[in-house]
Structures are given as structure tokens and as C-alpha cells.
Amino acid sequence: MPVPLYQKKAEFFRMLGHPVRIRVLELLGERPMAVRDILAELDIEPSSLSQQLGVLRRAGIVTSTREGSAVVYALAGPDVADLMRAARRILTEMLVGQTELLEALREEPTSHPAGTAARGGATSTGVAATSARAAGPTAPGAAVASGTGDVTASRR
């Protein structure tokens, strides 16, 4: 029985799920590069880079050629560079949305008596401060109201 396309896509994105691999793909999106040049851009051991390049090569995302004593890597096609640019656009849009939310929360008046929100009382928006905590973990980097009128970025 053939593997469903959604499962193959999940495997593809798991393969991309390492910061070094992403950075290598971004670098190779600019131009083909020798291993020594990639190493100069990254703060990792040569053996770690070799391992990550091997994963990308076996997946067919990058190609390698020998030029004298140097091994030069390149993207296997333009679609990978397009994917990296699309990811950057998506992340930028997400961050803009979070920035707008953060600004809105900072501009919101805080008219509750001192200590009311800290004791679980209603805040100026009419929402109990404890209900936000009870809602569960917040996505990393999301804005969180502290109950004192301050807004902080979650680091969970």
C-alpha cells in the first residue's frame, strides 16, 4: 500500500526540522558553496556539518560536486529556496500579528484597583486573571497579560 501524501509531507518537514539544516539551505539559496565556506558561516564542528549535509543530500534537497580538493554543495532545485522565502514571509506575518496584539494590550487602560487582578478578580477587560492561567500553556513568543497591566512575551 502506498504511503499517503500527507505522511510524506510530514516526513519532509521533519527532515527540515533542524536549525543547522535550515541555515545551510538559506546559505545555499544565495549561491553554491564549498564546505569550508559553509563552515565559516556556521559555529559548528565539521563533523556536525557533514552529518547535516548528509541528511540533506540523502533527501535529495542538495547536490554535491567535487571541484579539486573542495566539495561544493548546491540546492537541487529552486523550489527549496522558494520554500525558505515562503517560511520567512509566514513568520514575518505571524510576528507582525503578535506585535499588533502586544501594542493593543499595552494601550488598553488598566482601571482595576491595585491587587484585584493579582487575587484572581476581574481585570479591566472583565476577564478573571486566573482564567488565563487555567487556559494552559501559551505558544512560545505569544504575548501574555500579567494581570498587572504589563504585557510580557511568554518563554514557555
CB 34 within 8 A of CB 71: yes
**21 and 57 co-located in one domain:** yes
Decide which of 76, 110, 137 is a domain's last residue.
76
Q: Give dist(CA 150, CA 87) in Å, integer.
A: 31
Number of domains in the chain: 2
Same domain, residue pair 12 and 63: yes
Render each residue's pLDDT in the chain as its tens digit; 156 residues.
899 999 999 999 999 999 999 999 999 999 999 999 999 999 999 999 999 999 999 999 999 999 999 999 999 999 999 999 999 999 998 888 888 888 888 888 876 555 545 444 444 444 444 334 334 444 444 444 444 444 444 443
For 38, residues 6+ apart whose C-beta sits below 8 A from its C-beta are 24, 27, 49, 53, 73
Q: Which of 46, 76, 106 is the last residue of a domain?
A: 76
Residues 6+ apart with CB under 8 A from 29: 75, 80, 81, 84, 85
Helix or strand (DSSP H, E) at 34 = strand 33-34
